[in-house]
Structure 1
Amino acid sequence: LKVVLGDIGVSVVTAENGRVALDRLASQDFDIVFMDVQMPEMDGYTAARLMREKNYSLPIIAMTADAMVGAEQKCLDAGYSEYMAKPIDIDLLVNRLAEHLSGEPVAETEAATLSPITADQAPALDALPDEPDKIVSSLPMTNPKFRNIVEKFVTRLGDQLAAIDSAWNQRDYTELKRLGHWLKGSAGSVGFTQFVEPARAFEQFAIDKADAHIPDAIQKLHSIYSRIDVEPEQKAQPVLEIVKPLKGYVIPEKLTSRYLETKPKLRPIIGKFISQLSARCDVVEAAVTIKDFHEIEKFGYWLKASGGSAGFSAFTEPARDLENYAKEKQLDSIKHAVGVIRLLNSRIVTTDVE
């Protein structure tokens, strides 16, 4: 997360555990705290409670891979302000920062130069190739800042896998658990969700000291790593197949953010959303091709939240429908909803975004 936050212009100070975080707060001023709930020496729950007892009123955002019922309330009871489930969605993270910080968000260079997208430039739903052997980040790799984040992660991941091999040779189960927990939370945050479930299983094997399963789990992680492609081929973009809007959807001739004039500080966020939407549409279309309903549902959830946050309420209903269709695995309805979202995307007017 330090790389992600640093690349959007946020000054970051890190702490390796809750006790160090308390020391940092005592020695300098901060605007916001992002804190894992699982840390050595002093966990996040204890640290958050002590921060509140010391009358620190700044936002404290929990980060946890625990998605069980009651996890959020446990964080709130401890003193956290909010809860974010791992893998961390970068767009939601940026939106949270925009809400909490009084400073103006750092503008993306790309956001200032975006040109309107026309319908004949968007790709067809069924024309994307299926390349299951390659793994690419779901972040928009055409954006240099996101490419830098992904490349740094891939480099670090290679080092961490070597550390996993070393820890296994030494039967250091504590270190294996720590590395598995790191991978479980970090990989999805940079667009590699393929690691999340294998890393979760690996972490549990380390906790259980399940020697019979750990070698295969490590091999699985190495196998996924070997399939990463940080420079996917640029495919030709076929013409969009226009779909008839579903009943009840509003498809305006031109689509602009309602915040452009009323909330000028959000313009960089609007530009980021527009920039990422096209790239994420490409990802979800590929997911439709291989019937990856989890990825489709994740896209619907992201768009439902991020579209409204960026002032594009027209996306909310089709995004919500898409999320539900993915849960029910209704492929025809999914294709229709994705087509509607593509059509809405093609009508976004971006020339006023700064």
Structure 2
Amino acid sequence: MNHILLGLAERNEVDLELLFSQQWLGSDGKLDPGCPLRDLPQRTFSTLENATERTWKFLGYPSVDKYLPEKTDWLYAPMETYIPVSKCPVAVTLHDIQAFEPDLPWSRTWKHRLFRYKWELWVRRAFSKCRVILTVSEFSKQRMVDLLAADPQKIVVIGNGVEQCFFDIASADLADWQRPVESPYIILIGGLRQKKGGDDVLAVAKALHQRKSHLHIVVAGESETVYVEASQNCSNITLLRMVPDADLLWLLRGASSFLFLSPYEGFGIPALEAMAAGIPTVVSNQASLPEIVGDAGIVVDPKTPDAIADLLIELDNNSYLRKKYIELGRKHAAQYTWSRCVDRLISTFKQFA
């Protein structure tokens, strides 16, 4: 969201203002000093954000017309929401519609059913009332058509970008960097969680152990309790929890490969970030991931831990294969820039005006 909004603000043809709750203003009348959007022009509403967004989504009011300048060409929501307005056309971003997926491992849990119920109250209204729905992948677009019978003509794929820092770290010298483990390691981002393929990762760790491989699995991100406990029986898994952005770059840089066995992603930006950082990238054959990595990544069936373990060992040992996927990955990731996303967004505004 930050990259898209900052990119829009930099374009001469765009006059952009933020609209958000007054609760986020500091004593100086601006957003927090650490917020990248702090210096952009702004308008605010007096009510609390969460309560206001709920009434927008579930009741369809209050209208935000009174907060908008007289001449407003578009109201653009870079996040998943519904905003009632009649003064101008609205564009809303939906990264995915996981809430409506019927066959995910968690689709029949009470949490997911509640999640779906809440989305039912506003998503169909968004498709009906908004002039255009923006999304991040062809996969997500098609699922909107398949599951919601949405009009494909009003859904536009904008995509995501990769920050330059991920490309820069690929050439950084590792000599003075302190590794998280002594052994060569595979990096996993997003924690050990069911929605990130936690069971499949544990199975891969077991397969690596059975092969007496020296490869370790290092996990960045918060993990669910059941997987934290299970990992304690795996000597080749290290959980780091959340790590600062700068440390994450180095973790990627020092890894033998990147493993992403998520069963459902609307996009899967960590896979592209890993490619940009110069490490071979292995992803599951589920949802958007094959689309996003293309031929530059290695797509696997997450339910084949023995084959995945063999592949990870081969990537670590075979310098030719490793170099091949590093070069393919960096070239592929270079196509995903925030500037191109902004170009597509502006083109969409013009097309649907």
Instruction: Give TM-score scaled by structure 2 length.
Output: 0.32
Tell me which protein shows more strand as a share of its residues: 2
Greater percentage in helix: 1
Normalising by the residue count of structure 1, what TM-score does the alignment of the two structures yield? 0.32
